[in-house]
Amino acid sequence: MPGPLTTAPAPAPAAPVRRLPGRLSAPDPGWSTRADVVVIGSGIAGLTAALRLREHVEKVLVVTKDVLAAGSTQWAQGGIAAALGEGDTPEQHEVDTLVAGAGACDLDAVRVLVGEGPEAVHELIALGARFDVDATGLLALTREGGHHRDRIAHAGGDATGAEIQRALIAAVAAAPDIEVVQHALAVDLLLAEDGGVAGVTLHVMGEGERDGIGAVHCRAVVLASGGLGQVFSQTTNPAVSTGDGTALALRAGATLRDLEFVQFHPTVMYLGPDSRGQQPLISEAVRGEGAFLVDHAGDRIMQGVHELADLAPRDVVAKAITRRMHETGRPHVWLDARHLGAAFWERRFPTILATARRHGVDPVTEPIPVAPACHYASGGVRTDLWGRTDVPGLYATGEVACSGVHGANRLASNSLLEGLVFSRRIATALPGELRPWAEPVPDERPAGLVAGSVRPRLQEVMTERVGVLRSAAGLADAAEVLGGLAGTGAGLVDLDAWETTNLLTIAAALTDAATLREETRGSHWREDHPERDDARWAGHLDVAMTDGATTIEHHPAPATDGGAGR
């Protein structure tokens, strides 16, 4: 596991030390089982890891919080990015990724992603995923924000994630040596005497003899639990995305990196001022096919803002929309794609078309009301190039991980590719370093829960103060509110309290990191520090927890190429 990146002093101010639950307050397990490897999560990252690991270990157990298809992968509309087209190269994909990442990418990780990406996509196709093809039978590739080439492979027009999920679930169903536990929340890791993985506790809901709290004793855990979108009031993430894996890893001793880099998707359908939770995503691919953003006066929003106009990187577009909303006092802007025509909409974006019509908007005849909403966590559990964390036996992949490929702002459609590539790498490394079976030691970490009833207030303050535009004053307000929510769950032991405790843990760490980073970089925008990509802040912010106390350190590093001129 890499250590500090350089010896340069950390900039002021010092981040506060927070006290949060070191473990969730769970009763003694009522049942137990064993597996060599437990994979937590059932999206592209988790199922890819499980399918490849089963070839090398005796038993793989997949844990998913809902049903196998309920995670973020099935909602991915745009597609999966890789240098698959004529004239495109991994080197060109690398440049676009670095520019979007605004100097915070790990260059080696990016080169792994773009170099191994094409082969990984072809393996996915061989597994049974059916991507759209053109009249000649070649992959039909499109373009999204931040890309200078058509390199987005898609399926079913705008149902890429659903098709990938279908293919992976079918492959798992045909693999009898993969056991699946559905409707199960991963509560906490069980740790061995050396601080490494000895197992994991689960809360299983409605699954017969394994109902309630149980323990899986194992030799390794692969976290593939997805994102943290439910920290905010509006998000494209499904309801299960409450940061459980990220919080579990932090409590167990893993390092979280770059949490402040939360990407807000610029074009999420606006459903009204009272709408909360998962909101309909209007894929960036719609703009890739020629749609454009306008305000209520009909003026183009992105003209003159960036050389790529409506296809600028997501952070640039989200900020431009938010500023225009502030200037006009309007709660949304418009995405105009009427000129694409009914036939094109029905062929290329049938899912988005049906969703918009279900909410009373026909994109064929009227513009779509859109506003930014939380979409993707570019940071997460710090890993090396093989998915290892700094907890022995704990690996992380997909959105829950910070592999270094996304930097300060994920390039469009690199997310599915990251889960695919780094899960393959974990399956290569893990079998050769599988830990011996170990007994868990008594858990002395301070326990505690937060009442589920405080979740709306937490989401509200995070959206208002730690959203697209941030400032010291707003972040201080958020920190004060979050501090007041701790310790409200005395005597509670239920799913809502566990999820809300995870949300508070991640919200507090995210707010502290956003407070410490006094610059504007990628998806982190400080109104009181508008300097873009300040060289003093090149590097990473790492959050750690010891006995319930969190600390943050700045690890300086040379900036990678990217972000100049924006």
Q: Which domains does the chain have, with CATH numbers?
A: 264-374 (3.90.700.10)
Query: pLDDT digit string (tens) for 27-72?
Result: 788 899 999 999 999 999 999 999 999 999 999 999 999 988 777 7
Q: Is the pLDDT of residue 10 over 60?
A: no
DSSP codes, 271-312: --TT--EE--B--HHHHHTT-EEE-TT--BSSTTT-TTGGGS
pLDDT of residue 269 exceeding 60: yes
Q: Mean pLDDT, the chain, as a whole number?
A: 91
- The per-residue pLDDT for 563 is 44
Quote the longest CA-to-CA distance of the chain: 66
Nearest to 345 by CA among 369, 364, 367, 368: 364
State the number of CA atoms in the 13 A half-sphere of 24 facing the CB: 36
What is the average pLDDT across 236-240?
92
Distance CA 277, CA 90 (A): 37
Six-digit token string for 184: 């199960």
The answer to whether the bond into 90 is cis (omega within 30° of 0) is no
Task: Kindly state the tokens that stand for 338.
Answer: 């009427």
Residue 6 has pLDDT above 90, yes or no: no
Instruction: Give CA–CA dist 333/324, Å, rounded.
Output: 8
Q: At what angle do helices 160-173 and 415-429 cross, to 10 degrees?
A: 30
H or E stretch including 342? helix 342-348
Give the percent of the chain with pLDDT over 70: 94
CA angle 99, 49, 541 (to 5 degrees): 40
Nearest CA-CA partner of 181 in 332, 40, 14, 9: 40
Give me the DSSP letters along 448-479: ----GGGHHHHHHHHHHHSSSSB-HHHHHHHH
- For residue 25, the model assigns a pLDDT of 79
At 28, list the tokens.
């003694």
Please, what is the end-to-end C-alpha distance for the chain in angstroms?
33
Which residue in 18, 314, 324, 521 is the catalytic one? Answer: 314
| Higher per-residue confidence, 396 vs 468 | 396
Helix 472-485 / helix 495-516 crossing angle, nearest 10 deg:
150
Among 253, 268, 290, 255, smallest CA distance to 142 is for 290
Among 111-115, 210-214, 402-406, the least confident range: 210-214
**Alpha-carbon gap, residue 52 to 433, rounded angstroms:** 15
* The pLDDT of residue 560: 65
Residue 559's pLDDT is what?
A: 60
Confidence category of residue 7, pLDDT binned at 50, 70, 90: very low
3-state helix, strand, coil in the chain (%, to 5): 35, 20, 45
State the Cα torsion 166-168-169-172 to the nearest 10°.
160
Rg, Å, the chain Cα set: 22
Q: Give the per-residue pLDDT at 3.
A: 37
Mean pLDDT over 388-400 rounds to 98
Q: Is 189 helix (H, G, I), strand (E, B) or coil?
A: strand
**How much is the pTM?**
0.92
- Phi/psi at 249 (nearest 5 deg)? -65, -40
- Confidence bin at 1 (pLDDT 50/70/90): very low
> Given pLDDT bands bounded at 50, 70 and 90, which one contains residue 159?
confident
Nearest residue to 224 via CA among 346, 102, 64: 64
pLDDT, tens digit, 9 for 90 and up, residues 282-298 = 988 899 899 999 999 99
Dump strand ranges (E) for 11-131: 18-19, 31-40, 60-63, 80-81
Asked if the model's pLDDT at residue 209 lies above 70, the reply is yes
Residue 95 pLDDT greater than 80, yes or no: yes
Per mean pLDDT, which range of 135-139, 241-245, 359-363, 546-550 is the poorest? 546-550
pLDDT at 382 over 60: yes
Q: How confident is the model at residue 20 (pLDDT cuts 50, 70, 90)?
A: confident
Phi/psi class of residue 522: alpha, beta or left (left: φ > 0; alpha: ψ in -120 to 50)? left
CA 390 to the chain's CA centroid: 20
Choose among 555, 465, 473: nearest CA to 510. 465
Provide the token pair at 546.
């010891």
Annotated active-site residue 19? The verdict is no
Q: What is the pLDDT of residues 431-463, one digit of tens each?
A: 999 999 999 999 888 888 999 999 999 999 999
Confidence of residue 514 (pLDDT cuts 50, 70, 90): very high
pLDDT given at position 398: 97
pLDDT beyond 80 at 390: yes
